[in-house]
Amino acid sequence: MTATAEPTAAAPSGSEPLLRTADLTRHFRLGGIFSHQVLHAVDDISMEIGEREIVAVVGESGSGKSTLVRLLAMLYRPTRGRIFFRGRPLESLRSRRDVLWYRRQVPMVFQDPYSSINPVFRVSHGVMRNLTLHRPELRGAARRAEAERVFEVVGLTPAREMLAKFPYEMSGGQRQRVGFAQALALQPRLILADEPVSMLDVSIRAGILNLMAELREREGVSILYITHDIASARYVADRILVMYGGHVVETGSADDVLADPKHPYTHLLLAAAPDPREPAAVDSSAVAGEPPKVVNPTEGCRFRARCPIAVDECGRVTPRLHAVGVGHAAACHLAPADPGWPGGSRDGR
Amino acid sequence: MPALLEVRGLSVDYLTDAGDVRAVDRVDLEVAAGEFLAIVGESGCGKSTLLFAIAQLLSPPAELAAGSVTFAGRDMVTLGERELRHVRWRDYSVVMQSAMNALNPMKSIEAQFADTMRAHARLTAEAIHQRAAEVLRLVGIDPIHLASYPHQLSGGMRQRAMIAMALLFTPQLVIMDEPTSALDVVAQRALMSQIKELQQRLGFAVVFVTHDMSLVSHYSDRLVVMYAGQIAEAAPTARLFERPLHPYSRGLLDAFPSIRGPRRLLTGIPGSPPDLARPPSGCRFQPRCPVALPECSVRDPELRAVDGADVRCLLYPAPAVPVVPAVPVAEHRA
């Protein structure tokens, strides 16, 4: 498989995107040193994130989405494939200065606001540290003013009082805002948000989702939003990548993917999203099963065991992402290819 | 027919150095045999404390301050530990929030099941093994996993094992404290369907606590919305989703995005629940309420019957006028 033949999850711009991956792959060896068991956590992902774009990666626990975000955060090295940030390959970042440069532009916001903020310091600590480390040009009063500014941007007002609080004095939603403030202090280009709302009460999730949309508008950052909840992905994201068993199985604009899902797994995710405004459509069999641990995979679709419409071919040939509409691609043998669009031929031309 | 579970005027205090904090305030509940009752509300609204009070699991500094809990005709509050032992797990069981923490990581599933059964009944090893395998099959787990340790199971399987454990003695009531909150949406949905299927098949009643109202929309018979230790609204589930009366219920309903229809801006519920050591004057929801009236900060509303529901809100004046209330709420939102 070559990068050029693959229709990537392309942002609709011609120039080099903010971040791009080419056949990004990460395997983990399981067991002892002589073990031949290899877990395929992420396989051959080619995706793009544009400027000022919110891209959601949706999938169940075990679909590989957290491994993907850790690869992008340079916490894991890819087994194969490359990541380009503004055209620059990440493996070329070797010096501490270069790595700091990248980490400053692509910070991460973590899932659990209760364990990702140091409880013994005031919440100003994380923000001030980020400013000291990454923006040494700011000193004294200017540094303090910038800390207050980012707190105000994320809605922690009055900023002066909020900065002086300890984490235990804040609610979960406020702590998650501290996480975003810490990221924002770096003047980032892309925030990697790994399930930022899944630990929060439903009543305050909307506030954090709205905050992400606001940060894009006001600060011009892009956001990679990792979630298992396709309804929230639709609410906040421009584009959606659906992951299953380490593969991207469907990608496209949020509207296209939700209005006209092509992959049976996307159908499953939609069926699982609770919607009290609709009658219950599925019984438990429709959402039964769990994502596989992809160990030493053979050729074939990784979803076939749970797929209600699987055919013989699914056990023999791994489906490749192919275009099914404008900027809309699916990796399913039964999703009709759209030959009218580039990459529309099933064999990847 | 008398209710299976009847809670009257239940209040729970946390005794702290700074004074007593009332976490549950005069709660009345009734659960019929085979009924699915959901209790919803944000973190810190007292719903877990209420469950613990019902299950007689309160431990200091929490203390039952007032009220009664009658389960299957017995007054649970006056039962001693020894008598409780015969009721617990055999007649009612509890599924805790985090299976990861509730299961012992050092013991196989079968050993944990056996412990539970021996604590509440005298059974032969063979009978224990039989029953353990049977309940695992009930929740769709291969009995081969009796020998598994918790870390060898996925999150969804661990939660199902917890439910299997709760069913060891075919209880009449299963109390569940956010059993799905650590799971992803797909596993949540699968687990909810399974709970409902089991409930219909085995006929036990469920009291289910959650902060996610959308989760129970298709499964519960009745909904109780709690805020700051009090019942804000109680109604049949379909009725409450169709026409929420309390502004807080409305806020909870408007908090999650839909996968269909036009994208609307979600507001959630700004602010957070009050510190129960210093509850606000008047209505406890008034500081966050989008439709609060001046008198809301003065008068403490009572729970009263309005149009097929019980609601604690001054928008619904004493002589229930069913048409009036919906209008100011809708106008304010528009």
Condensed to tens digits (0 to 9), the pLDDT of residues B149-170 reads 988 888 888 888 998 999 999 8
Q: Which of B227, B224, B229, B266 is nearest to B248 (CA)?
A: B227
pLDDT of res. B178: 87
The strand ranges marked E within B36-101 are 36-40, 62-71, 74-75, 92-95
- Is the per-residue pLDDT at B267 higher than 90? no
Question: Amino acid identity of B7?
Answer: V
Of A113-127, A157-171, A327-341, minimum mean pLDDT range: A327-341
Phi and psi at A109, nearest 5°, equal -115, 130
Instruction: Return the higher-pLDDT residue of A100 and A31.
Output: A100
Look at residue B327 in the predicted model and tell me its pLDDT: 44
Position A160 pLDDT exceeds 50: yes
- CA dist A223 and A106 (Å) reads 9
pLDDT of residue A279: 61
Contacts of B252 in chain A (CB under 8 A): 202-203
Residue-level pLDDT at A10: 47
> What is A170-204 written as a DSSP string?
S-HHHHHHHHHHHHHTT--SEEEEESTTTTS-HHH
Q: Which residues of B touch A (CB under 8 A)?
A: 42-43, 140, 154-157, 183-190, 193-194, 197, 211-215, 217-218, 241, 251-253, 255-261, 263, 265-270, 272
Confidence of residue B84 (pLDDT cuts 50, 70, 90): confident
Neighbours of A229 (CB within 10 A): 25
CA distance A247 to A320: 9
Q: Which pLDDT does position A340 carry in this prediction?
A: 54
Return the SS3 of B207: strand
DSSP H or E stretch at residue B209: strand B205-210
Render pLDDT for B92-126 as a digit per residue (tens, 0 to 9). Answer: 999 888 766 788 889 999 999 999 888 888 888 89
- What does the block give as tokens for A30? 């399981």
Beta partners for residue A84, in sequence order: A20, A89
pLDDT of residue B285: 92
Edge to edge, the sheet with strand A190-194 lists A108-109, A190-194, A222-227, A54-58, A239-244, A247-253, A328-330, A322-325
For β-strands A239-244 and A190-194, DSSP reports them as: unpaired
Q: CA-CA distance, B299 to B295, in Å (whole number)?
A: 6
Average pLDDT of the segment spanning B291-307: 88
Mean pLDDT of B200-208: 92
Calculate mean pLDDT across residues B275-297.
Answer: 88
Residue A60 buriedness (CB in 10 A; 0-12 / 13-18 / 19+)? buried
Taking the C-alpha atoms of residue A299 and residue B57, their distance in angstroms, rounded to an integer, is: 53
The predicted model gives A143-166 an average pLDDT of 91
pLDDT band at A287 (very low <50, low <70, confident <90, very high): low
Model confidence pLDDT, tens digit, residues A47-97: 999 999 999 999 988 889 989 999 999 999 999 999 999 999 999 998 988
Partners of A250 in beta bridges: A242, A330
Q: How many C-beta atoms surround the C-beta of residue A111 within 10 A?
A: 19
Rounded average pLDDT over B287-298:
89
C-alpha distance from residue A139 to each of B90, B152, B269 (Å): 66, 51, 38
- CA–CA separation, B197 and B193 (whole Å): 6
Residue-wise pLDDT for B215-252, tens only, equals 888 889 999 999 999 999 999 999 998 889 999 999 98
Alpha-carbon distance of B161 to A278, in angstroms, equals 30
Beta bridge partners of A327: none
Q: What is the ipTM of this complex?
A: 0.80
pLDDT value at A210 more than 60:
yes
Q: How confident is the model at residue A77, as a pLDDT?
A: 93
Q: A301-315: per-residue pLDDT in tens?
A: 999 888 888 889 999
CA distance A194 to chain B (A): 14
Distance from CA of A45 to the nearest CA of B (A): 23
What distance in Å separates the CA atoms of residue B184 and residue B218, rounded to the nearest whole number? 18
Is the per-residue pLDDT at A208 higher than 80? yes
Q: Determine, for residues A202 and B213 on separate chains, whether the beta-carbon distance falls below 8 Å.
A: yes
Confidence label for A171 from pLDDT (cuts 50, 70 and 90): confident
Question: Residue A316: which of A308, A324, A330, A304 has the closest Cα?
Answer: A304
User: Strand pairing of B205-210 and B19-31?
Assistant: unpaired
Question: What share of chain B in percent tops pLDDT 70?
Answer: 94
Strands (E), A256-340: 322-325, 328-330
Cα–Cα distance, A40 to A26 (Å, whole number): 7
Name the band, by pLDDT with cuts 50, 70 and 90, for residue A277. Answer: low
Average pLDDT over residues B84-91: 86
For residue range B34-49, list pLDDT tens digits in order.
999 999 988 888 888 9
CA angle in degrees (0–180, nearest 5) for A106-A108-A112: 175
In chain A, the percentage of residues whose pLDDT exceeds 90 is 55
In this prediction, residue A102 has a pLDDT band, given cuts at 50, 70 and 90, of very high
Q: Which of B253, B260, B268 is facing A278, going by the closest CB pair? A: B260
Closest partner residue to B189 (CB to CB) among A234, A274, A278 is A274
Q: What is residue B1's predicted lDDT score, i.e. its pLDDT? A: 60
- Chain B contact for A253 (CB, 8 A cutoff): no
Is 50 exceeded by the pLDDT of residue B324? no
Range scoring the smallest mean pLDDT among A83-92, A230-239, B191-200, B224-233 = B191-200
Q: List the single best residue of A162, A198, A201 to mutate versus B (max B Cβ within 10 A).
A: A201
B331 — pLDDT class (breaks 50, 70, 90):
very low
Contact B171, B93 (CB under 8 A): yes
Residue B227 near residue B45 (C-beta atoms within 8 A): yes
